[in-house]
Amino acid sequence: MTTLFQELFARPPESYGEAPGRVNIIGEHTDYNGGFVLPTAIPQRTHIILAPRSDANVRLASKDLGTSIQTCEYVLGQEEAKHRWSDYIEGATWLLQQKSMPIQGFDALIVSDVPLGAGLSSSAALLVALFRGLRRLYQLPIDDVQIALMSQTVENEFVGARVGIMDQMAASLADAGTALFLDTRSMNFERIPLPLSKMEMFIINSGIKHSHAHGGYNTRRTECESAAQLLGIKQLRDFSEMDLPQLEQLPEVLRKRARHVITENARVQRAVHALLASDLEYLGQLMIQSHASMRDDYEVSVSEIDFLVQVACADPAVYGARLTGGGFGGSIVGFCRTGEAHRIVNDIKHQYQEKLGREATVMVPAPAAN
């Protein structure tokens, strides 16, 4: 990266930042409802290296998997959302100026192997990596939780994606050996060890891209807010499974959305207990239930994702699998018996190609050495 930076900007970098993508084990669409989530970091990461400028110009270069280098320039104080990748960078500098943080222009090179639109939080990884790099470059007084909150603000207020806080907290605080059990209302979190000696995780990208800034994601959030208002509560987090009969007063669509959120919050808490007890059969059942709820009540799955989950769960070595991320495409996550993951993902890929004519990409596990 350093050599490429010097080729592009004719000087060496002076700061860096990085952050992982994430996969959500369970707890989907609960974060913007004040609920519980359980993500973990994935091996894929976003890296950024920077050098300061003496003027207000920002020069950017970005290289993702399989893409050529993309460049962009803008001037601090003239940030504008244009529905392109640089919106996230412009949103970050816009917010820092809103907070009167001492920044000036800079050159930056971004390199990432977190796939775009795969439900693995490429945008959160980018923002967290950028804020970390700028924190080092300008000695900004912001901690990791503040970085997560600021990243969410950029997505909500500048990019226009009404996402919750899970992705940003995961990119800022999660690691690969634990699951981040996060209460998105109190912001309390606990790292739950993953029993990786007894199970393997697999993640498969369907190849169908989604976008949080457009379409159904924002609609789902509005539907949840409407349901909570009609129920007379602040957020759907305020209801438990004991309150499910009260959903009968809601219109059908809002009833389904609320039912998913309420039951999903309960599944997250049960999944934590399952992990702590290494009860992988129960964890798998919770994941299967979660996928069914996302498919039928929240209606954010698509047929290709359902196919991947169905094929995975038909394998006797798989404990469970589900759609992960906001939906409308993206990836699946699953757990299986130790030593079986490579065989399972290869079989799923083959059936996806053979039956649907589509190419899936295995994100985890990494390809086996020859």
Give catalytic residue positions: 167
Burial of 340: CB neighbours in 10 Å, binned 0-12, 13-18, 19+? middle
Q: How far is CA 247 from the centre of its chain?
A: 29
- Only one residue has tokens 């059990």, namely 181
Measure the CA angle with vertex 161, ends 23 and 151; round to 5°: 65
**Which sign does the torsion angle of CA 119, 123, 124, 125 carry?**
positive
CA–CA gap between residue 326 and residue 210 (Å, rounded)? 8
Reading across the β-sheet that carries 331-337, which strands appear in turn?
Answer: 318-324, 331-337, 199-205, 361-364
How many Å apart are CA 88 and CA 152, to the nearest integer?
11
CA-based Rg of the chain, rounded to a whole angstrom?
21
Which residues are CB-neighbours of 144 under 8 A, at least 6 positions away?
Answer: 172, 173
Neighbours of 53 (CB within 10 A): 16
Direct distance between the N- and C-terminal alpha carbons of the chain, in angstroms, rounded to an integer: 27
Q: Single out the residue of 73, 26, 18, 6 nearest to residue 47, CA to CA.
A: 18
For residues 171 and 123, the answer to whether their CB atoms sit within 8 Å is no
- Got the DSSP string for 102-118? ----EEEEEEE-S-TTS
